[in-house]
């Protein structure tokens, strides 16, 4: 694929569409940026491209796929996610699997944006713009750069921020380039900035490594401004996020082509769901991650009722996942699922959502029912046990001990 071309020949891509999936923000501007990228990508590829969101904005992934399924037979999902954390590994794949069970359409799932030469080039330009605003030159002055990511509970994603910072440093005249995070993990932006002050650079350029101009981007600007005020001998300024820069279309086009040709590559060698990583041993296997994804998805049922926090959830008090994979299904789990739903509907006190799940890794011990929060897994559940599970556990927080398989 030639990135010098303004468009790509799509004569072989009839009856195909792309779904560009963003996270979603309570800030309309950030969501509009995703929609603008979708429109630009449509012009680049020459096939329909729609936008969808994981949470906090509409349409949801399933709703968007439903609309595309009515007019096309193949949809390729392209991620706006910068790194492969839980949204890429759990939430979007789960939404796609649910859509596959509902809609008669071929679905391809692409990879995250990741580390790409076009993004490094874009960050270099973002740094140059801040240097110009501060009146410094990296070839003559000591200029330090901080690449600030959102931060994740996934070590693989956090490691990629450090790799990106190192690649931005290589071959360029910056005094140093550091990786930092706005939250969840360390080093935080505040700590990194204070650490840099000891080196007394002429300027500190902070690059928010985020796509949209949302709440977290503003937090990066605010913290950088506070640092600039507290340390008058260092000029500091935060740059713009990636936004809708046309170079992102090169990355999206590559990820689209990988997905539709079944050549997506993920960093499985250092994925906490695949291998034993120090401190993350309990995440191996993915069943727990899948349940967290199910519960997280349910918390965003109401996409309009959000307040000032970017991840405000409209959450049920409890979430129940019933395994309906092949083995559990043969043992009667569909009847368990429907009976639980009926008991919840009949209850005057229960605030719970009941959803089906794929295999929980306890084949032969089912039907399996997992209740969150609390991580109580019930095994060998029969349809007639539904009344007790709802009346005792869901209504009164009393664990039905004789059915407990394990607790997580």
pLDDT of residue 375: 84
Sheet hosting strand 143-149, strand order edge to edge? 176-181, 143-149, 203-208, 235-238
Burial class of 217 by CB neighbour count within 10 A (0 to 12, 13 to 18, 19+): buried
Joined together, the tokens standing for residue 372 give: 């969150």
pLDDT of residue 119: 97
What residues are paired with 404 via a beta bridge? Answer: 378
Checking DSSP bridges between strand 369-372 and strand 318-323, what pairing results, if any?
A: antiparallel
Joined together, the tokens standing for residue 248 give: 């992102």
Q: Tens digit of pLDDT per residue, the chain (408 long)?
A: 444 444 444 444 568 999 999 988 888 888 999 999 999 999 999 999 999 998 888 999 999 999 999 999 999 999 999 998 778 887 888 888 888 888 999 999 999 999 999 999 999 999 999 999 999 999 999 999 999 999 988 898 999 999 999 999 999 999 999 999 998 899 999 999 999 999 999 999 999 999 988 888 999 999 999 999 999 999 999 999 999 999 999 999 999 999 999 888 766 666 665 666 666 666 666 665 566 656 555 555 555 554 444 444 455 788 888 888 778 888 999 899 989 989 988 888 888 888 877 777 788 888 999 998 888 899 999 999 999 999 999 998 899 999 998 876
What residues are paired with 356 via a beta bridge? Answer: 322
Side-chain-side CA neighbours of 315 within 13 Å: the count stands at: 14
Joined together, the tokens standing for residue 313 give: 């959830």
CA distance 371 to 378: 8
Joined together, the tokens standing for residue 309 give: 């926090």
Joined together, the tokens standing for residue 49 give: 């491209």
C-beta separation of 224 from 238 below 8 A:
yes
Chain centroid, CA 110 distance in Å: 13
CA distance 147 to 177: 7
Domains within the chain, CATH numbers bracketed: 16-112+248-270 (3.40.50.1400), 117-238 (3.40.50.1400), 316-407 (3.40.30.10)
pLDDT of residue 284: 60
């Amino acid at each position: 694929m030639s990135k010098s071309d303004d468009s790509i020949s799509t004569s072989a891509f009839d009856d195909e569409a792309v779904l560009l999936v963003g996270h979603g923000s309570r800030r309309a501007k950030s969501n509009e940026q995703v929609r603008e990228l979708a429109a630009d990508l449509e012009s680049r590829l020459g096939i329909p491209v729609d936008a969808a969101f994981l949470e906090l904005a509409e349409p949801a992934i399933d709703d968007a796929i439903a609309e595309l399924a009515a007019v096309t037979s193949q949809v390729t999902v392209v991620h706006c996610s910068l790194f492969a954390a839980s949204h890429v590994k759990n939430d979007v794949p789960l939404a796609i699997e649910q859509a596959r069970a509902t809609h008669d359409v071929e679905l391809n799932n692409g990879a995250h944006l990741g580390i790409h030469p076009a993004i490094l080039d874009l960050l270099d330009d973002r740094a140059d713009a801040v240097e110009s605003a501060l009146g410094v030159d990296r070839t003559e002055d000591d200029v330090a750069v901080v690449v600030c990511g959102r931060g994740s509970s996934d070590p693989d994603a956090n490691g990629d921020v450090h790799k990106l910072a190192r690649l931005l440093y290589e071959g360029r005249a910056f005094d140093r380039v550091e990786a930092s995070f706005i939250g969840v993990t360390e080093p935080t932006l505040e700590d990194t900035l204070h650490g840099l002050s000891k080196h007394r650079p002429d300027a500190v350029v902070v690059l928010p490594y985020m796509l949209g101009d949302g709440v977290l981007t503003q937090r990066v600007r605010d913290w950088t401004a506070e640092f600039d005020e507290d340390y008058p001998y260092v000029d500091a300024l935060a740059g713009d996020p990636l936004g809708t820069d046309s170079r992102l279309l090169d990355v999206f086009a590559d990820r689209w082509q990988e997905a539709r040709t079944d050549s997506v590559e993920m960093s499985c060698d250092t994925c906490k769901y695949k291998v034993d990583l120090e401190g993350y041993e309990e995440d191996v296997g993915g069943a727990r991650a899948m349940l967290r994804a199910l519960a997280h998805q349910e918390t965003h049922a109401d996409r309009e009722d959000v307040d000032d926090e970017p991840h405000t959830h409209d959450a049920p008090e409890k979430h129940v996942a019933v395994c309906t994979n092949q083995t559990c299904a043969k043992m009667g789990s569909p009847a368990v699922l429907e009976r639980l739903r009926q008991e919840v509907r009949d209850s005057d006190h229960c605030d719970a959502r009941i959803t089906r799940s794929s295999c929980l890794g306890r084949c032969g011990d089912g039907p399996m029912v997992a209740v969150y929060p609390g991580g109580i897994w019930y095994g060998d559940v029969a349809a007639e046990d539904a009344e007790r599970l709802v009346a005792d556990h869901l209504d009164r927080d009393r664990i039905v001990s004789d059915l407990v398989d394990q607790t997580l």
